[in-house]
Amino acid sequence: MKRIQTTSKPIPKVPLKKKARFNGFYLLLIFLLAAVAAAVFFGPKLRERQQELSRREDGAVFLVTAQRLLEADRLGEAEKALESAARRLPDDARVPALREKIQMAWKLREDSMAPAIQERMAAAKELALDDLMGALSALRQIIETPDIPAKLAKEAAELEESLSKATCSLRFPEGWPLDAKVQIDGRFLIPDEGIIADITPGSRPIGFQRPGFRDPPAIPMDFRGTRPVDLPEVVWRPLPGRLQLTSEPAGAAVWRDGQDTGLTTPCTLEDVDSGKVEVILKLPGHLDAVVTGELQPETTLELAGQLVMPPSLPREGANAGERAEFNLTPALRIAFRWCPAGTFRMGAGENARDVTLSHGFWIGETEVTQAMWEQLSGQPFATFMAISKKEHPEESIGPDHPAFSISWEKLRGSTARPVGLFQSLNTYLSEASSSWKVDLPTEAQWEYACRAGGGEAPPKIDQIAWFRGNSKGTCHPVGTKDANPWGIHDMQGNLHEWCFDWFQESYEGLPTTDPVGPASGWKRVMRGGGYHSPAQSCSATSRASAYEMTAHPLIGFRLVLKPGDAP
Average pLDDT value for residue range 16-38: 65
* Cα-Cα end-to-end distance for the chain: 112
Average pLDDT value for residue range 358-371: 95
Say which amino acid occupies 460: K
Query: Is 493's pLDDT higher than 70?
Result: yes
Q: Judge contact between 524 and 501, C-beta under 8 A.
A: yes
Query: Is 340's pLDDT higher than 70?
Result: yes
For residue 392, what pLDDT is reported? Answer: 47
Average pLDDT value for residue range 172-190: 87
% of the chain residues with pLDDT over 90: 38
For residue 156, what pLDDT is reported? Answer: 64
Average pLDDT value for residue range 30-35: 74
Residue (of 446, 449, 409, 425) closest to 333 by Cα position: 425
For residue 355, what pLDDT is reported? Answer: 96
Average pLDDT value for residue range 286-302: 89
Give the model confidence (pLDDT) of 527-538 as tens digits. 999 999 999 999
Query: Is 337's pLDDT higher than 80?
Result: yes
d(Cα 357, Cα 69) in Å, to the nearest integer?
A: 99
Query: Is 162's pLDDT higher than 80?
Result: no
Neighbours of 395 (CB within 10 A): 16
Average pLDDT value for residue range 176-188: 87
Beta-bridged to residue 256, according to DSSP, are: 259
Q: Judge contact between 464 and 458, C-beta under 8 A.
A: yes
- Model confidence at 483, pLDDT cuts 50, 70, 90, reads very high
Outline which parts of the chain fall under CATH 2.60.40.10. 240-306
For residue 225, what pLDDT is reported? Answer: 72
Average pLDDT, the chain: 83
The residue count of the chain comes to 567
For residue 23, what pLDDT is reported? Answer: 65
Q: What is the pTM assigned to this prediction? A: 0.52
Higher pLDDT pick, 332 / 135: 332
Q: 163-230 maps to which CATH number?
A: 2.60.40
Q: Which CATH superfamily is domain 240-306 in?
A: Immunoglobulins (2.60.40.10)
What kind of fold does domain 323-562 have according to CATH?
paralog of FGE (formylglycine-generating enzyme) (3.90.1580)
Per-residue exposure over 215-240, b if at least 16 CB sit within 10 Å of its own CB, e if not: ebeeeebebeeeebbebeebeeebbb
Higher pLDDT pick, 58 / 216: 216
d(Cα 349, Cα 441) in Å, to the nearest integer?
A: 23
For residue 391, what pLDDT is reported? Answer: 46
For residue 122, what pLDDT is reported? Answer: 67
